[in-house]
Amino acid sequence: MDKKVCEKISLIYLIVSVICAVFGAVYEKFSHGVYSYSMIYAFLFPLIGGALVWSIIGKAEKLKMPGGAVRNLYHSGIASFTVGSIFNGIIEIYGTESVFVYVYMITGIVLFVSSIIIFLIDFIRCYEQ
């Protein structure tokens, strides 16, 4: 396991979480008293799904580093959840609805689940040999 890579990824996700939290706070400051829980809690996707998960992966001794395809699918899934949550917050604060909110969430689920399935298949193959 390359601990340095996991620490770097975790730090990047932590920075993204802070940026999302600040963005949400500033956006709601200028939204004339209207708020959205989707906007408030958008920072949790990169914090829990990113920083926390990659910290745990970095600390696991027997876990091998996920391959590039798995990492890209996983990062894309977390990004889709985060952007979808911010987009949903903007739509809610504006006072309207959009079908695209569901597109972000469905895309995030597909990417996230795909990365987990591929990682588990690689994990099982590694220990069968």
pLDDT at 129: 63
**3-state SS, residue 1:** coil
pLDDT at 51: 95
**3-state SS, residue 42:** coil
pTM of the model: 0.89
CB under 8 Å to 101, separation ≥6 — which residues?
84, 87, 88, 91
Distance CA 51, CA 75 (A): 11
Distance CA 58, CA 3 (A): 5
Low-confidence ranges of the chain (pLDDT < 70): 1, 128-129
Distance CA 3, CA 82 (A): 25
Whether 61 and 1 have beta carbons less than 8 Å apart is answered as yes
pLDDT at 35: 86
